[in-house]
Amino acid sequence: MPLLSVVVPVYRVEAYLRQCLDSILRSAPEEFELIVVDDCSPDGSGDIADSYAARDGRVRVRHLPENVGLGRARNAGLDEATGEFVWFVDSDDWLADGAIAAVTRRLAADPRLDMLIVDFARYAENTGTSRRSAMARALARSPGPEVFAAVDRPSVVGLLHVAWNRVVRRQFLLDEGLRFHPGLYEDVSWTYPALLAARRIAFLDQVCVYYRLREGAITSTGGARHLGMIHHWERVFAAVPPDHPLRPVLFEQSMRQGIAVLGNEARIPEPRLRREFFLRLAAFQHRYAPPGWTPPGSRIHQIKYILLAKRLYPVYSALRWGYKTARRQDPSL
């Protein structure tokens, strides 16, 4: 049994796939498996994956008969995996030099870990520049043991939680029944339940993933699919007991993400959809806000929460229009 299985779902990524696969295999040990899941991609991604499997016995390819989406493609890869730990890597990203070696060393040093969170850098494709995340600084705000549960270091909840910045023990996933649900924001309803269920978490203070920011990526494409974000957060709260000590922190994180999506015209370009998202987010806030909860952040953010609580979309829309008009006249605002 290999220590690590890396699962890479692919769909319309022929321009990026070789860089991704090369970065994984470059420092991977002999006892290792890379599972590429071709999600019925209409371009040459499947053929590229097959060419790697033909020349490297560590690579296996599963071709899905129909397109099922990122979450279910990850599930298909998980079903194929045999490693003690599983790492889901997105096919338009790539791993830093030595990332696999660093991860396997850390896992071998403590194979009882449930989850290893790794640091990453954002790579802006339009400028060719990269910037390291603030994960290490965020964790430093709640110091604690090197191996911890989320309740020991609550600031871990505020990190970016995506499938590709954590390596998870496969048996832990099976025991907890953790699978990806369909739809955009599928990481939400997988990462947070996993985070709260994990008893032994560690952080690798090293950039392991370059996260590519590009036009055409799933989350940068606007439309009604973004309304599904709230549904994934509802799944999270359905899985978290009402008296869980981190429930208020989770709620704050969910509302922060909801407010960000609400104000993002690239994701929700149509006023009709923005109104629907606003009302869904307002209902979510009403249902899950902890007793005595006080909106965090600046005054402008607090106003947004108040408008949500009172379901005053016309007022929100008017204030948003006024702010945009003022910004055009004075970009420093």
10 Å CB burial of residue 203 (0-12, 13-18, 19+) is buried
Cα torsion 126, 128, 134, 137 to 10°: value is -160
Distance of CA 83 to the CA centre of its chain: 22
- DSSP secondary-structure letter at 226? G
Rg of the chain over Cα atoms, rounded to whole angstroms, equals 21
Q: In 10 A of CB 284, how many CB atoms? A: 21
Cα 302 to Cα 160: distance, rounded to the nearest angstrom: 22
Q: Which CATH superfamily is domain 4-220 in?
A: Spore Coat Polysaccharide Biosynthesis Protein SpsA; Chain A (3.90.550.10)
- For the chain, the domains span 4-220, 224-329
Distance CA 181, CA 178 (A): 9
Q: Residue 31: which residues within 8 A CB-CB, separation 6 or more? A: 2, 3
Provide block-wise average pLDDT over 10 residues at a time, the chain (333 residues). 98 98 96 98 98 98 98 98 99 98 97 97 94 88 88 92 97 98 94 97 97 74 88 95 93 94 91 96 96 82 91 91 67 60
Helix (H), strand (E) at residue 178: none
Nearest to 181 by CA among 247, 115, 228, 114: 228
Burial class (CB in 10 A: 0-12, 13-18, 19+), 324: exposed
Question: According to the model, what pLDDT value does residue 220 have?
Answer: 58
- Angle formed at CA 210 by CA 207 and CA 215, multiple of 5 degrees: 155
Structure pTM? 0.92
For residue 96, what are its two tokens? 């830093």
DSSP codes of every residue in 32-68? -EEEEEE-S-SSSHHHHHHHHHHH-TTEEEEE-SS--
At position 97, the amino acid (one-letter code) is D
- Distance (Å, rounded) from C-alpha 320 to C-alpha 293? 24
Instruction: Quote the CA–CA distance of 65 and 67 in Å, as a whole number.
Output: 7
Cβ neighbours around 168 below 10 Å, total: 25
Q: For the purposes of burial, counting CB atoms within 10 Å of the CB of 215, is it exposed (0-12), middle (13-18) or buried (19 or more)?
A: exposed
